[in-house]
Protein backbone atom coordinates (compact mmCIF):
# COMPACT_ATOMS: atom_id res chain seq x y z
CA UNK A 1 0.00 0.00 0.00
CA UNK A 2 1.38 3.38 -0.97
CA UNK A 3 0.75 6.45 1.11
CA UNK A 4 1.72 10.09 1.24
CA UNK A 5 2.06 12.11 4.44
CA UNK A 6 1.98 15.90 4.51
CA UNK A 7 1.19 18.81 6.85
CA UNK A 8 -1.39 21.46 6.13
CA UNK A 9 -1.05 25.20 6.69
CA UNK A 10 -2.57 26.89 9.73
CA UNK A 11 -5.18 28.63 7.54
CA UNK A 12 -6.34 25.24 6.21
CA UNK A 13 -6.23 23.67 9.67
CA UNK A 14 -8.52 26.38 11.05
CA UNK A 15 -11.05 25.59 8.30
CA UNK A 16 -10.80 21.85 8.94
CA UNK A 17 -11.33 22.28 12.69
CA UNK A 18 -14.37 24.50 12.03
CA UNK A 19 -15.79 21.95 9.56
CA UNK A 20 -15.41 19.13 12.08
CA UNK A 21 -16.96 21.26 14.84
CA UNK A 22 -19.99 22.07 12.65
CA UNK A 23 -20.51 18.49 11.45
CA UNK A 24 -20.51 16.97 14.91
CA UNK A 25 -21.58 19.90 17.14
CA UNK A 26 -18.35 19.43 19.08
CA UNK A 27 -16.01 22.24 20.13
CA UNK A 28 -12.62 21.06 18.90
CA UNK A 29 -11.06 24.37 19.85
CA UNK A 30 -11.27 23.36 23.51
CA UNK A 31 -8.80 20.56 22.64
CA UNK A 32 -6.82 22.03 19.74
CA UNK A 33 -5.92 25.47 18.42
CA UNK A 34 -5.45 26.75 14.90
CA UNK A 35 -1.71 26.40 15.60
CA UNK A 36 -2.03 22.64 16.26
CA UNK A 37 -0.02 20.53 13.85
CA UNK A 38 -2.41 18.77 11.46
CA UNK A 39 -1.19 16.16 9.00
CA UNK A 40 -2.90 14.09 6.33
CA UNK A 41 -1.89 10.58 5.37
CA UNK A 42 -3.33 9.80 1.94
CA UNK A 43 -4.04 6.11 1.45
CA UNK A 44 -5.98 4.17 -1.18
CA UNK A 45 -9.49 4.70 0.17
CA UNK A 46 -9.23 8.03 2.01
CA UNK A 47 -7.20 10.24 4.31
CA UNK A 48 -6.15 9.67 7.88
CA UNK A 49 -6.09 12.99 9.75
CA UNK A 50 -3.46 13.34 12.47
CA UNK A 51 -3.77 16.16 14.98
CA UNK A 52 -0.66 16.67 17.10
CA UNK A 53 0.58 13.30 15.84
CA UNK A 54 -2.52 11.31 16.90
CA UNK A 55 -4.73 9.70 14.22
CA UNK A 56 -8.10 11.16 15.20
CA UNK A 57 -10.22 11.13 12.03
CA UNK A 58 -10.56 9.16 8.82
CA UNK A 59 -11.97 11.01 5.81
CA UNK A 60 -13.33 9.58 2.57
CA UNK A 61 -14.88 11.61 -0.24
CA UNK A 62 -18.13 12.20 1.64
CA UNK A 63 -17.64 10.83 5.15
CA UNK A 64 -15.64 11.94 8.19
CA UNK A 65 -15.26 9.35 10.95
CA UNK A 66 -13.60 9.87 14.35
CA UNK A 67 -11.19 7.08 15.29
CA UNK A 68 -11.46 5.12 18.51
CA UNK A 69 -8.36 6.93 19.78
CA UNK A 70 -10.28 10.20 20.13
CA UNK A 71 -12.03 9.21 23.35
CA UNK A 72 -12.97 12.80 24.27
CA UNK A 73 -15.11 12.92 21.13
CA UNK A 74 -17.19 9.85 21.98
CA UNK A 75 -19.35 11.72 24.49
CA UNK A 76 -20.94 13.87 21.76
CA UNK A 77 -22.15 10.93 19.65
CA UNK A 78 -25.36 8.93 20.16
CA UNK A 79 -24.78 5.54 21.74
CA UNK A 80 -26.40 2.12 21.35
CA UNK A 81 -25.87 -0.54 24.00
CA UNK A 82 -25.84 -4.06 22.55
CA UNK A 83 -26.39 -7.44 24.21
CA UNK A 84 -23.10 -9.25 24.96
CA UNK A 85 -24.12 -12.14 22.69
CA UNK A 86 -24.19 -9.82 19.68
CA UNK A 87 -20.72 -8.32 20.20
CA UNK A 88 -18.65 -11.02 18.40
CA UNK A 89 -20.88 -10.72 15.34
CA UNK A 90 -20.89 -6.91 15.29
CA UNK A 91 -17.09 -6.91 15.61
CA UNK A 92 -16.93 -9.09 12.49
CA UNK A 93 -19.09 -6.64 10.52
CA UNK A 94 -22.66 -7.77 11.19
CA UNK A 95 -25.44 -5.21 11.30
CA UNK A 96 -26.90 -4.29 14.68
CA UNK A 97 -30.46 -5.61 14.80
CA UNK A 98 -33.29 -4.63 17.10
CA UNK A 99 -33.31 -7.85 19.20
CA UNK A 100 -29.67 -7.23 20.18
CA UNK A 101 -30.19 -3.63 21.33
CA UNK A 102 -30.65 -3.22 25.08
CA UNK A 103 -30.36 0.56 25.33
CA UNK A 104 -30.23 3.79 23.33
CA UNK A 105 -28.71 7.08 24.47
CA UNK A 106 -29.20 10.12 22.24
CA UNK A 107 -31.10 10.91 19.06
CA UNK A 108 -30.12 9.74 15.59
CA UNK A 109 -31.56 8.83 12.22
CA UNK A 110 -30.66 6.31 9.55
CA UNK A 111 -27.03 6.59 8.35
CA UNK A 112 -25.96 8.79 11.31
CA UNK A 113 -22.67 8.09 13.00
CA UNK A 114 -23.00 6.55 16.47
CA UNK A 115 -21.11 4.46 18.99
CA UNK A 116 -21.94 0.82 19.69
CA UNK A 117 -21.01 -0.38 23.19
CA UNK A 118 -21.49 -3.63 25.07
CA UNK A 119 -23.48 -4.04 28.29
CA UNK A 120 -20.40 -4.14 30.48
**Could you give the 3-state DSSP secondary structure of residue 24?**
helix
pTM of the model: 0.73
- How is the beta sheet containing 4-7 ordered, strand by strand? 4-7, 38-43, 46-51, 54-59, 64-66
Does residue 47 carry a pLDDT above 70? yes
- Bigger pLDDT: 40 or 25? 40
Report which of 66, 62, 69, 87 is spatially closest to residue 77, judged by C-alpha positions.
66
Q: Indicate whether 103 pLDDT > 90.
A: yes
CA end-to-end distance (rounded Å), the chain: 37
C-alpha distance from residue 85 to each of 22, 91, 94, 108 (Å): 36, 11, 12, 24
**Higher-confidence position of 29 and 113:** 113
Structural domains of the chain, ranges and CATH numbers in brackets: 4-73 (3.10.450.120), 77-118 (no CATH)
87 vs 69: CA distance, rounded Å: 20
pLDDT digits over 63-99, tens only?
A: 888 888 877 777 778 899 999 988 899 889 898 888 8
Average pLDDT, the chain: 85
- What CA–CA distance (Å, rounded) separates 49 from 61? 13
Amino acid sequence: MKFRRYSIKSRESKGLLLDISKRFAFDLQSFFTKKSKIEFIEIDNGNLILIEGKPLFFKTSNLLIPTLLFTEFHSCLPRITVDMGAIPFVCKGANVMIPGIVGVDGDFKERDLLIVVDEK
